[in-house]
């Protein structure tokens, strides 16, 4: 009896210890996975919204440096004539910007008098402070002459357009803007719905909010109460009707500049059964451990194997199987620091597939994916092992070429451009790409400086007719 009791105590201690270790391990796996997914989601957002930054800043620069416009502000006294002149001059620019959701553009005098609303050119002569403020991404600049402010320029991109871009890019996800109620007190309430997460938050333009999302939010309301008011990025997993979801909360102020920290969140909902498999796996391992004492050693092996899997998930693009943006940023910064330290050349190439949206629209997203995979494989087999090749998102790719100056970088880009042009993939008639190339300079502080120059060069390549290489130093 005593021996049986001893074995019983030993077995009980094993169950407690092994069960505790197993539980901690699986909670850690879930935490690691959620953390990697959160970083990936934030990277997707920034890449998706990069178009807004490029277009808005380019337009602001163009109009704020227009010498004829400055002269017109100083000589033209009739506001109606000035307004019509500006609208006629920039009408084509405005039509182009409006295709990307940049529709609300205001020009107004320092005293607040409106000179022109591009979206409503007939309405002038009122004050900017009487305008209905609309929640959105705001860009601002001035038209000045010798430090004298002649006029102000304000661009407002409503969040609804940002949400539409995400829906087009990732149609399998649901997106909502969650706004703190104190920022709605000065705005129209049309299109706002009180959130189930907390009564102090409202959804922005969510008239067709599905019952599935409402149920998920009611389940989340108590779970995220503390995190919701931290205004830091976080994500949580939740189960409903046998389906697991990951819900992401990214503060709007982290995505766009010049917005209050506690404005609210961009919330996204994604089906993800991998979380469920982690939970289920806990019971499988636990029961196996009760039957086989050696399961503890098996768990250690299993843990190391999973760790490698998570690292791979966090560094490889799932579609093209090449390096993703998160891993590229890590590797690129290392190469940048090394090149700066030893004064070595380093070239940065960015390219994207021309008219990729037309390919998707004409042949379907499945063919679009095949194009991305074929381009990735072709480029991967055409560069050196020391070159770092990654997908930045969508149809955009980057190459970092160590020990390569701007001449070599341009030659490499031209070589790849020709190789891509030779790709044959029925039924797509022709595949081309535009390239932006730059190299490291003494004035560069980090890898982002190279990316910005290369991105501007890419924009110029697109503007000059596509399927070409443009270099910017």
Write out the two tokens for 154. 């304000």
Q: Which long-range contacts (CB under 8 A, 24 or more apart) does 91-100 make?
A: 93/59, 93/62, 94/118, 97/55, 97/56, 97/59, 100/51, 100/52, 100/55, 100/161
The enclosing H or E element of 463 equals: helix 447-463
> From the first residue on, what is the mean pLDDT of each consecutive set of 10 residues in the chain (473 residues)?
65 70 76 89 84 89 93 90 93 90 88 89 70 69 90 86 80 87 63 84 76 87 88 91 90 84 90 80 68 46 55 81 91 94 96 94 93 95 94 93 96 96 91 97 94 96 95 93
Domain ranges in the chain are: 2-28+277-305, 65-159, 172-272, 325-471
Contact of 250 with 266, CB cutoff 8 Å:
yes
How far is 418 from 432, CA to CA, in rounded Å? 8
3-state SS record for 316-367: ECCCCCCECHHHHHHHHHHHHHHHHHHCCCEEEEEEEECCHHHHHHHHCHHH
* pLDDT given for residue 98 in this prediction: 86
Same fold: 172-272 with 325-471: no
Query: 325-471 belongs to which homologous superfamily?
Result: Reverse transcriptase/Diguanylate cyclase domain (3.30.70.270)
Strand positions, DSSP E, 174-223: 174-180, 192-194, 201-204
Q: At CB < 8 A and 24+ separation, what contacts does 63-69 make?
A: 63/90, 63/141, 63/143, 63/153, 64/141, 64/142, 64/143, 64/144, 64/153, 66/143, 69/143
> Residue 111's pLDDT is what?
87
CATH number 3.40.720 given to 172-272: no
Per-residue pLDDT at 126: 73
Residues in the chain: 473
Its pTM stands at 0.51
Catalytic residues: 395
């Amino acid at each position: 009896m005593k021996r049986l009791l001893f074995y019983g105590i030993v077995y009980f201690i094993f169950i407690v210890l092994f069960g505790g270790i197993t539980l901690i391990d699986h909670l850690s796996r879930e935490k690691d996975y959620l953390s990697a997914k959160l970083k990936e989601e934030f990277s997707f957002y920034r890449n998706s919204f990069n178009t807004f930054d490029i277009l808005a800043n380019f337009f602001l620069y163009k109009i704020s440096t227009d010498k004829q416009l400055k002269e017109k502000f100083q000589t033209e006294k009739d506001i109606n004539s000035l307004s019509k002149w500006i609208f006629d001059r920039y009408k084509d620019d405005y039509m182009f910007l409006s295709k990307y959701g940049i529709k609300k553009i205001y020009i107004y005098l320092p005293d607040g008098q409106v000179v022109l609303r591009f979206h409503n050119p007939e309405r002038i002569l009122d004050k900017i402070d009487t305008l209905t403020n609309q929640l959105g991404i705001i860009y601002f600049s001035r038209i000045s002459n010798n430090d004298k402010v002649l006029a102000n320029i304000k661009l407002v991109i409503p969040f609804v357009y940002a949400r539409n871009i995400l829906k087009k890019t990732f149609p399998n996800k649901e997106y909502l803007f969650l706004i703190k109620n104190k920022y709605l007190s000065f705005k129209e309430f049309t299109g706002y719905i009180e959130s189930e997460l907390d009564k102090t938050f409202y959804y922005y333009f969510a008239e067709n909010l599905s019952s599935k999302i409402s149920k998920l939010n009611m389940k989340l309301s108590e779970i995220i109460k503390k995190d919701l008011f931290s205004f830091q990025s976080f994500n949580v997993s939740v189960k409903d009707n046998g389906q697991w979801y990951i819900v992401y909360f990214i503060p709007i102020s982290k995505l766009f500049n010049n917005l209050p920290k506690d404005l609210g969140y961009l919330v996204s909902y994604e089906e993800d059964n991998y979380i469920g498999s982690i939970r289920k796996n806990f019971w499988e391992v636990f029961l196996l451990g009760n039957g086989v004492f050696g399961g503890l050693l098996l768990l250690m092996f299993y843990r190391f194997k999973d760790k490698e899997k998570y690292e791979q998930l966090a560094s490889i693009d799932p579609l093209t199987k090449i390096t993703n943006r998160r891993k590229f940023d890590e590797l690129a910064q290392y190469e940048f620091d090394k090149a700066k330290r030893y004064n070595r050349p380093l070239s940065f190439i960015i390219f994207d597939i021309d008219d990729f949206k037309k390919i998707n629209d004409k042949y379907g997203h499945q063919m679009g994916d095949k194009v991305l995979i074929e381009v990735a494989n072709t480029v991967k087999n055409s560069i050196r092992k020391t070159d770092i090749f990654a997908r930045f998102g969508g149809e955009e790719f980057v190459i970092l070429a160590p020990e390569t100056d701007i001449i070599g970088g341009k030659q490499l880009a031209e070589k790849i451009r020709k190789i891509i042009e030779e790709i044959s993939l029925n039924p797509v008639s022709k595949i081309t790409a535009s390239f932006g190339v730059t190299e490291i300079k003494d004035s560069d502080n980090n890898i982002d400086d190279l990316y910005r120059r290369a991105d501007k060069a890419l924009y110029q390549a697109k503007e000059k007719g596509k399927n070409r290489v443009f270099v910017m130093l």
